Homo-oligomer: A and B are copies of this chain.
Amino acid sequence: MKHKIVRIQFDTKSGEPLYLQLFQYLKECILNEEIIYGSKLPAIRSLAKELGVNNITIINAYKQLELAGYVTSKQGSGYYVSKRLRTSLSPSYTPKSKEQNVINFGSVSPHPEIFPVETFKQYITEAIDRDKGFAFGYQEINGYLPLREVLTTFLSQTYNITTCKKQIQIVSGGQQGLDIIAKSLLYSGDSVITENPTYNGAVEVFKSRGCRTVPVNIHSQGINLIELEKKVRICKPKLVYVMPNYQNPTTFCYSKSTLLELLKLAETYQFYILEEDSMCELSYSHKTNLTLKSFDTNDRVIYLKSFSKLLMPGLRMGFIIMPSTLCESFTRTKQATDISSSGLIQRALDLYLRNNKWYEHILYMREIYKNKYEYMLEKLEMLEKYNIQFFIPEGGLCFWLTLPPHLSAEKLSAECLKNGLIILPSPMYFSHLDSFKDRHIRLSFASCSFNEIEKGITILRHCLNTLMN
């Protein structure tokens, strides 16, 4: 490691302080993993000597690194490179531009061309004309009242979920929901159980609260209940985070018996369940998907739903159904987070729901997605000869593929990217890595045209040929 640092070339003409140059250089080394996580930075004096600079230059550079979160200092011992999560800058959220040539099997957002833009524009205008300045003022912290009212009706009629307007907290999208729930409930040292694999953006939020995340394996009927109970007894989690429908990334759906057993465990061991539901509506078979919340007689489930996957991600809208004991704490956290969500968008969404456009839109999206799903499924069947296996989810927006032994998902995804295709490799979904976990890829058809799906699979086959020969 020292050798690498010694290679720094100071630019003495630029006028930039030496310590800032050293900081930038060390930062790059850490980000490129040339200096690995957990390792100790060289002692101040010896590095100063090697580089021919003052001790204070090294000290200032190290302090900058500490302030920026790259290293932590341990009293009397020195500076250590901080443990950081794998970057979460996932292509799931890459905004699509019209010029983009890359085919994106990573994104689970609908393509902007099928957004209900005109309808929304109409409701936005209607809301402004009706409420004028009040549409741009501060809102109730827990959300625009008429929207919370229409949501409760909607949840009862369509989702078989009984709740009341007091228990609804409007949030600016699913990710903010996770952030608010974590900040309300979790403190440094708490344990959270997650499915394994799981959504890394949630893990990042839990870790940011100083929590320990404990993974429990998931199979095609849901979370492994025996492993779950064992781990619950040991780590006494405050929260168990699950996605019972088209789990991200595996696409598995929980069976009814798993849902009921999970609720029983929550009652026995007194933990809350965070149910994230972004697309239970997207069943392409005759099966109706079940939510945990609809069976939640003991108010143990925190239900989080976003409008990003089924409507438009840029709305930044979602909601939480809060257990009654947590309402006050959640709303208080929402205020400290961003005071309230956009009143204008809440008003437009309220009109959209009241005019039954949401239901029409779901039917429309289901039709579009179903066709793409079937098309990708058909193309995937051609991958059999590569010894690739996958689960058929009968809904949702993704396929989760298992690669043959010895084929690295990360290598495959790097090869695909070189050839103009984004796929998501499994390591980003596992919090505890081993080589076995580098064997899956997630493919989504959500934002692709039929033509792109076909081209993408061709690229994938080409890359498989390259790597397997």
Tell me the A residues contacting B by CB distance below 8 Å: 20, 23-24, 27, 31, 60, 63-64, 67-69, 87-89, 93-98, 109, 111-115, 117, 120-121, 124-125, 128-129, 132-141, 172-173, 175-176, 179, 183-185, 187-188, 201, 204-205, 208, 210, 238, 270-272, 312-316, 325-326, 328-329, 332-333, 335-345
Pairwise interchain contact B93-A336, C-beta atoms closer than 8 A: no
Q: A238–B87 Cα gap in the complex (Å)?
A: 24
Pairwise interchain contact A69-B138, C-beta atoms closer than 8 A: no
- Chain B residue numbers with a CB within 8 Å of A187 are 210
- Chain B residue numbers with a CB within 8 Å of A271 are 67
Stoichiometry (number of copies): 2
Q: List 10 A-B contacts (CB under 8 A).
A: A64-B270, A64-B325, A69-B185, A115-B136, A136-B314, A137-B312, A138-B314, A172-B316, A187-B210, A208-B333
Pairwise interchain contact B89-A335, C-beta atoms closer than 8 A: yes
Pairwise interchain contact A179-B338, C-beta atoms closer than 8 A: yes
Known: A68-B329, A175-B339. A313 touches B23 (CB 8 A): no
Pairwise interchain contact B325-A68, C-beta atoms closer than 8 A: yes
Q: A98–B137 Cα gap in the complex (Å)?
A: 12
Name the CB-closest residue of B to A306: B339
Pairwise interchain contact A88-B136, C-beta atoms closer than 8 A: no
In this complex, the member of A95, A96, A338, A340 whose beta carbon has the largest number of chain B beta carbons within 10 angstroms is A338
Q: A96–B112 Cα gap in the complex (Å)?
A: 35
Pairwise interchain contact B124-A138, C-beta atoms closer than 8 A: no
Q: A272–B326 Cα gap in the complex (Å)?
A: 35
Pairwise interchain contact A336-B201, C-beta atoms closer than 8 A: yes
Pairwise interchain contact A314-B139, C-beta atoms closer than 8 A: yes
> Interface SS of chain A: helix, strand, loop or mixed?
helix
- Chain B residue numbers with a CB within 8 Å of A205 are 336
Pairwise interchain contact A136-B313, C-beta atoms closer than 8 A: yes
Name the CB-closest residue of B to A346: B314
Partner of A141, one of B93, B172, B335: B93
Q: A339–B23 Cα gap in the complex (Å)?
A: 28
Report the minimal beta-carbon distance from A107 to chain B, rounded to whole angstroms. Answer: 8
Partner of A95, one of B98, B140, B328, B338: B140
In this complex, the member of A27, A121, A345 whose beta carbon has the largest number of chain B beta carbons within 10 angstroms is A121
Q: A97–B124 Cα gap in the complex (Å)?
A: 20
- Chain B residue numbers with a CB within 8 Å of A340 are 93, 316
Pairwise interchain contact A314-B342, C-beta atoms closer than 8 A: yes
Q: A340–B339 Cα gap in the complex (Å)?
A: 16
Known: A109-B137, A124-B128, A125-B125. 17 other contacts (CB 8 A): A64-B325, A89-B332, A93-B335, A95-B138, A95-B140, A95-B343, A98-B134, A112-B136, A117-B128, A117-B132, A117-B136, A136-B315, A138-B313, A172-B172, A175-B335, A179-B336, A316-B339
Report the minimal beta-carbon distance from A114 to chain B, rounded to whole angstroms. Answer: 7
Report the minimal beta-carbon distance from A297 to chain B, rounded to whole angstroms. Answer: 11
Q: A312–B93 Cα gap in the complex (Å)?
A: 28
Name the CB-closest residue of B to A113: B133
Partner of A137, one of B95, B136, B176, B335: B95
Name the CB-closest residue of B to A68: B325
